[in-house]
Amino acid sequence: MLFAFTAASLAIGVAAVAAQGGGNASFVDPTTQGGSFFLMATDGLGEPLNVVISGLSSPEVLTDTGFLNYARAVGFTTECFSLTLGTLFTANLGDGNGPQNQTMELRESFGNAMFGACIEMFLGGNHLRMFRQDGPQANTSALFLATSAEEGLFQNHTISADGYDVGRNIFANMAAGMTQFNGTSYNTTVQNLTGVLPVGSQGVNHGIAIDGNAFLLTVTTV
């Protein structure tokens, strides 16, 4: 069952987040500094960066190694036999670094951190690309995720119908509350970032409409 986060109970203003300042902020809104809440895909189209791991999370979670362990606790893992499928996408997070390649790409593990991504590769499932906001204009260390539900190998990993919002919701469902992997436990709280993206399909890769919202996750090691 997907979370039904309400604007009244969990909405958070992006301006208020940004006002905390780089280094002590959940994140800085990329659009205020020449960036975007979309990664750059193909033909001038984008895919929504619809989950943000707060820069106020435990510092170890925001490293590459720490995020990978957290992602495995949530139910994701590295590519099948380390084979990267598809194109490396870029994103400009408005931090002064300009467009940067994704830091990592992970797939749903189906409970198997070793080979689960092979299942996702063939059958489809959830999928994410991670980018880090750490440039001189917004050094928050926040992690921006482009999550999506996709079809399997024989459908060429096409994004599922409503796949961006569905992928976001699945990730939040899997992450919220207590999770653990390899001896580390995590507590994740989820807030709704309302209206940080445009509503509809204009400019969105594959012409898939989105609802304009993202989730802000704050992750604390326990």
Question: Which pLDDT value is given to residue 42?
Answer: 78
Strand partners for 131 = 144
Residue listed under structure tokens 């690309």:
129
Question: Which pLDDT value is given to residue 195?
Answer: 96
HEC-encoded secondary structure of 117-154: HHHHHHHEEEEEEEEEEEECCEEEEEEEEEEEEEECHH
Sequence-distant (6+) residues with CB within 8 A of 99 are: 40, 90, 91, 92
Both tokens of residue 171?
């990730």
Question: Which pLDDT value is given to residue 84?
Answer: 58
Determine which helix (DSSP H) or strand (DSSP E) holds 190, and give its type and residue range. Answer: strand 184-193
Q: Are 214 and 193 in contact (CB under 8 A)?
A: yes
Question: Which pLDDT value is given to residue 120?
Answer: 64
Question: Which pLDDT value is given to residue 7?
Answer: 32
Residue listed under structure tokens 């409503």:
162
Question: Which pLDDT value is given to residue 119?
Answer: 64
**pLDDT tens digits for 196-216?**
999 999 999 989 999 999 999
Q: Give every residue of the chain whose pLDDT is below 70, as ranges.
A: 1-23, 79, 81-86, 112-117, 119-124, 151-158
Both tokens of residue 16?
């208020």
**pLDDT tens digits for 73-92?**
999 988 675 555 557 899 99
Radius of gyration from C-alpha coordinates of the chain: 16
Distance CA 147, CA 128 (A): 4
